[in-house]
Structure 1
Amino acid sequence: MTHHNPGTLYVVATPIGNLDDLTPRAARVLAEVTRIAAEDTRHSARLLAHLGVNTPMLSLHEHNEARRVDTLDGYLTAGENIALISDAGTPLISDPGFVLVRELRARGRHIVPIPGPCALIAALSGAGLPTDRFVFGGFLPAKPGARRQALEDWSAREETLVFYESPHRIMHTLEALKETLPARAVVLARELTKTFETFLQGTPEELLSQLTEDPNQARGEFVVMVAGALPVAQSEHQDISADELMKTLLDEGVGVKQGAAIVARMLGGRKQEWYARLQAIKAEH
């Protein structure tokens, strides 16, 4: 009776546009594994044809991933090596694969990442926003109210905020940013590594104007990056500006609760802390 050593699952990053970005190691793995689990086999067939690779494929996407676990585990148990790829970029990063990797790792299978292209990292590297700390939020909710609420929830974070967005929703997302974070610097990275790669920067309102004037800029897949909130503990000069803003709001009859929301949107920080400072200023008056 023949005994097999269990195979390895390779999590392989593939190009997000430019096929030259596929690493030699990734190309070698795709050619050497027994089979490839692909998000869309028709889409990935073009990449394999470009490489001259004829490795058999099976689909693994959000609708069948849970059902594929036992099948793929059976192949691994039989000693086969398998590559997991998504349509573009690094699997699991807003793409299928999490359920499979989690379950196979729980079963003690050998899993090896093959690093390479990732849209959010490529976008951050060229955006000019702080990258020492950032938060990736994937795709924002589709419904307007939930989208605005999500941005409100993220508004106090001091890290650079990063989201993915599709062409048919980019204008809606910019509208939501205009309502919730109107003064923030926003960078849109579009069609990364492709012929019409573009970086656009401005406030949400400025970007809305640019995309309205040139609808071609609203095409393609987007990485949306938003400057993080300023720390509540500002420099002395900034403290004076914040206090003057809060005094002006109170003088104009704006309530403490609403004023705290306005200041948080304009300057960042937590609404609760601005609320306390507004209460203190109001008491002094």
Structure 2
Amino acid sequence: MDKKAAGKLYLVIFPFVGTSPAIAPFVGGILLQAFNWQATFIFLSLFILLIILLCYFVLTETLPPIKRQSFTSVGIIKSSIRILRNKQFIFYAVIPCFAYATYFAYIVESPFFLTALGLSTLYIGYSYIGVSLTYVLGNLVARMFLKQESMERAVRRGYVIFVLGGVLFALQMYISPWPFVTSLITISILTFGNGFLLPLGTTLATSSHPQAAGAASGVMGALQLGSAALSFAVIGKMSEHNPWSVAVLLATCCIVGFIIYIRKANYFINLEKQSS
């Protein structure tokens, strides 16, 4: 499978991956209102059990036995180190890492953020519907652009939308007479850009290490979740859950990621052209 075909495949998969962090609080809120807090953990356990059963009985290994490698901790560590030494992989991995970091930081901080702006805790879960819809819309639009132009150009478009949403999100907190409404609008612009960055950035990262695409995908997943965990821990600590501070820190995260991308994008694009 070539890089562009892989990108189209990720654009089909990632609507489910990207919307899950937003849908989860919505489902949790409904369970909490209908039952009690234990219901969330019971539902989670049953859902995990269902996934395990599907993986075991329905999904089959497609790689021929002769091409399979033994599963050892030493082998995993060695392959992960080789991948992390690939500068091209690291550069492209940074794209979805910053997207995840900003997205998860908002998801984690939003209960504090939205209640401070006057939303009842009973309705916080419903606020994630718009975030999910714009993310899926971003996936669909990115797929449309990918038919007409290169993946790198589509990523650039997504990054511009992403950073625009982040900057507007911070600005509206200081100038908007209706910060609750404008917060939801501007964060939806950011997640629309995420619809480009998460699937296409992941594709570019994993395709930069084709000799071990499975291992690269695993490292990519670890980096994404690790960056998200670090982001909401740092932003939560620094902001002390103050909405205005959260908005500025999220915008800063968007801008830093965009600067890193702009400074190095042409170098790695040209490097890839020379090697192909």
TM-score by length of 1: 0.22
The higher-RCO structure (CA 8 Å, 6+ apart) is 2
Which has more helix, going by share of residues?
2
Bigger Rg over Cα: 1
TM-score by length of 2: 0.22
